[in-house]
């Protein structure tokens, strides 16, 4: 599955580029042929990366929900992304989120949001709006870890190989992540094995300067049986 590191969001319902840059929270929507998912965040690209990570990680408690299933089946690049509204207040942002779920339908939202009021906030049909677009990058450091903590890491089988005279570790076919992704882990652990050896390791999906790779947890490399 291709991993997006920069996301094009379409601004609708009167939201401007300035609004997105200056407000703390955005209420977003991800649209695909299976329906629409609505959420709120202060970092929309990172949040999308987390959604994709959950869709690939069988240990995630969100793995089997309809939204992550749609990401796996349809592919992350088939979704269209929208900024529906903005806010500087989390309470107000959550209110707009619940209203947006009510307006756009909750077919890919599994959690029932508490509707605090009956305001519609000027929401309009996504299909009937042209909207300007804004290319957003993840806020914060260049290297973006998709999984949020060690609980989201997944155990995979990888192989030791030689690259430029150094022992490296990479994912192989039949894993929840694409084959050929390098695994960042301790050199002292890699040196225990020979080229071609298979190992088990806990990893999380990350990217740096647009290149996806896997980051090992604190556990050691274990010989694969």
Q: Which residues of the chain have pLDDT under 70?
A: 1-5, 112-117, 140-152, 208-210, 218-219
Q: Which residue has the tokens 């939204």?
A: 67
Neighbours of 10 (CB within 10 A): 19
Is the separation of the CB atoms in 62 and 47 below 8 Å? no
- In this predicted structure, what is the pLDDT of residue 63? 87
- In this predicted structure, what is the pLDDT of residue 92? 92
Is the separation of the CB atoms in 221 and 185 below 8 Å? yes
Where are the chain's structural domains? 6-137, 150-223
- State the DSSP string of 5-48: SEEEEEE-TT--HHHHHH-SEEEEEEEETTEEEEEEES-HHHHH
- In this predicted structure, what is the pLDDT of residue 37? 96
Reply yes or no on domain 150-223 having CATH 3.40.50.300: no
57-76: per-residue pLDDT in tens? 877 788 889 999 999 999 99
- In this predicted structure, what is the pLDDT of residue 141? 45
78-111: per-residue pLDDT in tens? 999 999 999 999 889 989 999 999 899 878 998 7
Structure tokens at 216: 């090992």
162 three-class SS: strand
CB-count burial class (<10 Å; 0-12, 13-18, 19+) for 147: buried
58 three-class SS: coil
């Amino acid at each position: 599955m291709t991993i997006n590191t920069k996301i094009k969001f379409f601004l609708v319902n009167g939201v401007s580029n300035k609004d997105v840059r200056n407000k703390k929270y955005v209420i977003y929507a991800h649209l695909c042929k299976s329906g629409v998912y609505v959420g709120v965040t202060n970092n929309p690209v990172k949040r999308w990366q987390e959604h994709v990570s959950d869709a690939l990680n069988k240990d995630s408690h969100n793995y089997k929900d309809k939204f992550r299933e749609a990401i796996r089946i349809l592919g992350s690049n088939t979704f269209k992304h929208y900024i529906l509204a903005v806010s500087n207040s989390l309470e107000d942002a959550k209110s707009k989120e619940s209203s947006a779920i009510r307006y756009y339908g909750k077919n890919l939202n599994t959690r029932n949001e508490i509707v605090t009021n009956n305001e519609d906030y000027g929401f309009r049909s996504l299909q009937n709006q042209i909207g300007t677009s804004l290319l957003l990058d993840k806020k914060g450091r260049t290297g973006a870890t998709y999984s949020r903590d060690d609980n989201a890491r997944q155990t995979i089988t990888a192989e030791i190989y030689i690259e430029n005279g150094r022992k490296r570790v990479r994912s192989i076919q039949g894993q929840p992540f694409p084959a050929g992704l390098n695994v960042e882990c301790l050199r002292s652990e890699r040196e225990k094995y020979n080229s071609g050896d298979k190992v088990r390791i806990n990893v999380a999906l990350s990217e740096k300067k647009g290149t996806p790779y896997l980051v090992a947890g604190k556990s050691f490399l274990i010989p694969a049986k």
